[in-house]
Structure 1
Amino acid sequence: MVAIYSETVRSWKMLLIMFPAFISMAIGIGASYMVGENVTPLLIIFPPVMVIVLDLMQLSIEVDEETLKIRSTLGLLARKTIRLNEIKLVKISKGWMSCSGMIHYTYPGKACVLIERTKGWSISFTTNRPEELAEALRTLGVPVVGGSP
């Protein structure tokens, strides 16, 4: 399918917040190794923590003719596909903390999108281009409240 709308929302702040933790963990592992401590548990935990943080650094939003897809960088933790015919209503609110669904993907951004589904849990996520997303969804026949300039 050809994407009608595509956007990537990034959170560099998460990397800036986690960078000191990564450095501290690396120094701690090195220091523990130098004094002869067993560093195996630390070496087992360190890579998955890094992968999780890197995975959550960005969110991709894509709308095609049949679905709305939400994915994190690697698609390990945040991965959701919503069929457009399952959407009851889309509410777009100003401010990235202005809504929350049962499943919520929050990154600093311009607006929050809440998707109410006919079956299943509501889903919300952040967007920096609410007008374009609203227009793409309206074009596909999805009822949208808000998102207009």
Structure 2
Amino acid sequence: MVAIYSETVRSWKMLLIMLPAFLGMTIGIGASYLAGEDMTFLLVFLLPFVAIALDLMQLKIEVDEERLKIRSALGLLARKTIRLDEIKLVRISEGWMSCSGTIHYTYPGKACVLIERTKGWSISFTTNRPEELAEVLRTLGVPVVGGSP
């Protein structure tokens, strides 16, 4: 399916939060190497740590004719697909911390989107283009509250 709406929300703050741990692991690997110690343990944990840090840096939101998809950069931690016919109501509120679903993907942004489903848990995420997202969802027949200028 071709995406009708696509947006990527990025957060460089996540990288800044992870930077001290990344530097600490790098210094530990260097010190272990210089001391002639085995670095296997540190290297084994460094690779997943870097993958998680990269994964948390961005969130991609796509809407096609049948689904709304939420994915993190690598799709390791955040990966959710919601069929549009499962959506009971979409609430769009100003401010990226203004809503909280059972499953919550938060990045600094302009607005927060809360999806109430007919079955399953509610889901919320951040968007920087709430007006466009609301218009696309309304066009596809999804009830939307808020999101207009």
Q: Structures share a fold, TM > 0.5?
A: yes
Identify the residue that residue 36 of structure 2 maps to in structure 1. Answer: 36
Q: CA RMSD in A?
A: 0.9
Q: CA deviation at 1:24?
A: 2.2
1: CA distance, partners of 2:102 / 2:38: 41
Identify the residue that residue 144 of structure 1 maps to in structure 2. Answer: 144
Identify the residue that residue 91 of structure 2 maps to in structure 1. Answer: 91
- Counting matched residue pairs gives 149
Identify the residue that residue 63 of structure 1 maps to in structure 2. Answer: 63
Secondary structure of the 1:99 match is coil
Secondary structure of the 2:91 match is strand
- Residues 4-38 of structure 1: per-residue CA shift (max 9 Å, x gap): 11100000111122223222211111102211333
- Code of the aligned partner of 1:96: W
2: CA distance, partners of 1:135 / 1:66: 15
Secondary structure of the 1:45 match is helix
Residues 85-94 or 20-29, more deviating: 20-29
Identify the residue that residue 126 of structure 1 maps to in structure 2. Answer: 126
Note if 1:75 corresponds to 2:62.
no
Identify the residue that residue 46 of structure 1 maps to in structure 2. Answer: 46
Note if 1:110 corresponds to 2:110.
yes
- Structure 1 stretches of 4+ with a deviation exceeding 4 A read none
- Code of the aligned partner of 2:22: F
Identity among equivalent positions (%) equals 83
Which segments of 5 or more consecutive residues in structure 2 lack a partner in the other structure? none
Q: CA deviation at 1:3?
A: 1.1
Secondary structure of the 1:29 match is helix
- Code of the aligned partner of 1:22: F
Note if 1:8 corresponds to 2:37.
no
Q: CA deviation at 1:124?
A: 0.3
- TM-score for the superposition, normalised by structure 1: 0.96
